[in-house]
Amino acid sequence: MDYSVLSKCYSGSEGDDLQKKFAALTPSDHKYTPWVVINGKVMSQSATFLSAVCKAYKGTKPAGCSSSLIDSLANASYAVDMA
């Protein structure tokens, strides 16, 4: 993305309008960021994004949903359990 386009949006009225629009759409029980909703349910803070998407995915799981990959991500140093 062209930085000048991003900067113009961020610094101008378009950015302000978008912030107001999405603030109004934020659920009243929103407690943290990111607030990820998958199939209408808020993602658990103890889950990794990949594991939550793979668990919710219907059909044949893609290679990225292998249990060894998900386990390695869950045990990585950046995984945080806030539950």
Same-domain pairing of 21 and 39: no
Q: Report whether 48 contacts 70 (CB < 8 A).
A: yes
Tokens of 79: 């995984």
Instruction: Tell me the pLDDT of the chain (83 aa) as tens digits.
Output: 789 988 998 899 999 999 999 889 888 888 877 778 888 888 877 777 888 888 888 989 888 887 776 666 665 544 444 44
pTM summary value: 0.47
Do 43 and 75 lie in one domain? The reply is yes
Residues 23 and 39 in one domain: no
Q: Are residues 80 and 57 in the same domain?
A: yes
Please check whether residues 22 and 47 belong to one and the same domain. no
- Number of domains comprising the chain: 2
SS3 38: strand
Residue-range definition of the domain harbouring residue 57: 31-83
